[in-house]
Amino acid sequence: MINLVHNELIKLVRKKRLYVVIAILAVLVCLFTYAQMKQVESMQERLGTLDWRTELQQEITNTQNRLNSSGISDEWRGYLQIQVSQQEYYLEQDINPSAPGAPTFMRVFIENAIDLVLPLLVVVVVADLVSSESSAGTIKMLLTRPVKRWRILLSKFLTMVFSVSFIVLSMGVLSYVISGAVFGYSGWSLPILTGFAVEGEELVTTNVRLIEQWEYILMELGLSWFVGITVGAITLMLSVLMRSTAAVMGVMLAALISGAILSNMVSSWETAKYFFMVNLRVTNYISGMGAPIEGMTLGFSLMVLTVWGLVALLVAFITFTRKDVY
């Protein structure tokens, strides 16, 4: 088994996909770091102050002004309202939700990457794990070895798990190292609030508690990893079902992008919450930003993701062990 996984890892490294992923991440992090830097600068110039309270209050007031203007969709209004109540709560507790520093950048970056960037990177690596063997014909060589088919697929599955771990790791390390050059490397022990609950358009703060930022980031990374594994499992299934890597990527791309769009407009279509791609933003539950559809909770989303992942694996294993290869 170890040899099989090792063999798969050699293929993975030789194909240089991981370098592409790291390069994409590095470029994105540089971009966002620069954007963030510019934003901080312009804010300071406008307010003439470094006090985060004044800045945050200004942000709240700006949002309230937007809320009071016409032509704003209900979904967006609800989202903004929750954001305002949360920011007000942070102010009340005298805790800066965005104290400058690399860990803060990292936290926000992960939150924003979890539903699109990270899954896409996983797709890039996983999409051709099986399908490339079919299209290149090497699958025959692989299957003629005296190894059970399910073991071969299991080795591919483990390779997928490892690459997801590696991608999440690179995401964490790169966002920390690069942004730290600008914002400084400290801030691991800053307090962060978690435990917000959203009911309708109200923010419930009865369960709110403080945790240190490193715990929060570790939790976020754990969730990202889980999302990555689910997406990876579905991609692996498609990779078994289709011979063309491009087709696998196309389908996954469509699914992920439709998920990103759907989460902004499905609040009235309740059954959409059973789609895996609407459940990807699981970090929103620990930051307390509310779910796209009423009734979605962290437990629910993890459940949906688990079921999708398991079903995908089941389909992948059954198909792979039974299909004729010619």
Partner 1 sequence: MKMNLVTVVASLSIVATIVWIIGLGMTINDQLLQESSAGSPPASTSDEAEQSSDTFLLALGDSLTRGTGDLQGQGYVTYLLDELKSRSDQSIQLSNLAVRGYTSEELLNQLEQTEIQRQIAQADMIFMTIGGNDLFQGGQALSVDSAFIIENSTETYLENLEEIYSAIESANGDTTVYHLGLYNPFNQLDGAEMTSSAVRNWNNESAEIAAKFDHVVFVPTYDLFQLDVNDFIYSDQFHPNNEGYQLIGRRLAALITLNEGGEGDE
Q: State which of residues 285, 308, 317, 320 lies at the interface with partner 1 (CB under 8 A).
A: 285
Q: What is the CA radius of gyration of the chain?
A: 22
Q: State which of residues 15, 77, 222, 264 lies at the interface with partner 1 (CB under 8 A).
A: 222
> Would you count residue 168 as binding partner 1 (CB under 8 A)?
yes
Which residue, 105 or 285, has its beta carbon nearer to partner 1?
285
Amino acid at 47: L
Q: State which of residues 286, 296, 305, 316 lies at the interface with partner 1 (CB under 8 A).
A: 286
Window 96 to 155, contacts with partner 1 (CB under 8 A): none
63, 83 contact by CB (below 8 A): yes
CA–CA gap between residue 165 and residue 251 (Å, rounded): 23
Binding mask 30-49 for partner 1 (x = CB under 8 A): -----------------xxx
> Would you count residue 79 as binding partner 1 (CB under 8 A)?
no
18, 166 contact by CB (below 8 A): yes
The strand pairing partners of 210, in sequence order, are: 193
Measured at the CA of 110, the angle between CA 78 and CA 57, to 5 degrees, comes to 45
Burial zone of 50 (CB within 10 Å; 0-12 exposed, 13-18 middle, 19+ buried)? exposed
> Would you count residue 272 as binding partner 1 (CB under 8 A)?
no
Q: State which of residues 39, 42, 61, 186 lies at the interface with partner 1 (CB under 8 A).
A: 61
Window 226 to 265, contacts with partner 1 (CB under 8 A): 226
For 167, the token pair is 């991608």
Which one of the spans 26-34, 87-95, 116-124, 251-259 is the region binding partner 1 (CB under 8 A)?
87-95
Amino acid at 131: S
Considering the complex, what minimum distance in angstroms separates the CB of residue 323 from partner 1?
Answer: 29
Query: Using a CB cutoff of 8 Å and minimum separation of 24, what contacts does 26-35 make?
Result: 26/174, 26/178, 28/113, 28/117, 29/109, 29/174, 29/175, 29/178, 29/179, 30/178, 32/105, 32/109, 32/179, 33/105, 33/178, 33/179, 33/181, 33/182, 33/183
> Would you count residue 306 as binding partner 1 (CB under 8 A)?
no
CA–CA gap between residue 189 and residue 101 (Å, rounded): 11
Which residue, 62 or 268, has its beta carbon nearer to partner 1?
62
Considering the complex, what minimum distance in angstroms separates the CB of residue 152 from partner 1?
Answer: 18
Q: What residues line the site for partner 1 (CB under 8 A)?
A: 5-6, 9-10, 12-14, 18, 47-49, 51, 53-54, 56-58, 61, 64-65, 68-69, 88, 91-95, 161-163, 165-166, 168-169, 191, 193-195, 205-211, 215, 218-226, 285-286, 298-299, 302
